[in-house]
Amino acid sequence: MSPDVPDAIVLRNVTRSYSTGVDVVTAAHELNFNAMRGEFVCVLGASGSGKTTLLNLIAGLDRPDNGSIRVNDREITGLSDKELTRFRLAEMGVVFQDHNLIDEFTARENVMLPLEVAGVPWGEASSQAERQLAAVGIEDLGNRFPRQLSGGQRQRVGIARALVGGRHVLLADEPTGALDSANSRALFEVLRVLCEAGTCVVLATHDPLAQQFADAVYAMTDGNLSRAQTRS
């Protein structure tokens, strides 16, 4: 990766603690993190290590106690909830272990949803959704309902919905948590293809297989993040 590729995500000294009433858990402790455009960054860590906290902070779904979070050159820590929602819809996509697709909608209709929220006309939304389904390798499944898709196919629909409309930052929280190893591998390959096409992918997972597909690997342990490996 060339050094002049711009950063998509920059965190500086980001801390987030939760008070449980009984004690205080520091889920993110002075995190420093960079991810470039077109880079596939994997955050590996055990359950409870702080991976979801990190992704929620980047997504603006949670707010840090301290520190700076920049996404596509915009400092997001000072934005209002409304500004954050608008910014996320324009710039970032988030996928979780649970795909959260709407059962009554086809795959294509699910992918069209963010475009319809943004006021894109139906015909244009439909063709953009088709292209995004093709980008995740399921262009022939647009008319199927979620129940007619495998777990891996549903996750691809979720990823297409997260990126449709020209978003280039994908935050994926344990997207293979419910998949077997063959389907996990296939999903990591999809993420790899997306990053080759310019998307910044941040994948949080406990699956070490993901390291083979990533440009950079961070390890998360008890709220601390350290750079573990760079793809040669």
**What is the rounded distance in angstroms from the CA atom of residue 217 to the CA atom of residue 181?**
19
Q: Closest CB to ligand ADP among 49 and 128?
A: 49
State which of residues 8, 14, 50, 69 lies at the interface with ligand ADP (CB under 6 A).
Answer: 50
Q: Which two tokens stand for residue 150?
A: 């495998």
Helices (runs of H) and strands (runs of E) counted in the chain: 6, 10
State which of residues 52, 56, 106, 199 lies at the interface with Mg ion (CB under 5 A).
Answer: 52
Distances (CA, A) of 153 to 77, 105, 139, 142: 34, 15, 11, 11
Does 176 contact Mg ion by CB under 5 A?
A: no
State which of residues 51, 156, 167, 168 lies at the interface with ligand ADP (CB under 6 A).
Answer: 51
Does 221 contact ligand ADP by CB under 6 A?
A: no
CB of 25 to ligand ADP, least distance (A): 5
CB 139 within 8 A of CB 133: yes
CB 115 within 8 A of CB 128: yes
- Give residues 4-33 in contact with ligand ADP (rule: CB under 6 A): 18, 20, 25, 27
Give the binding site for ligand ADP (CB under 6 A).
18, 20, 25, 27, 45, 47-53
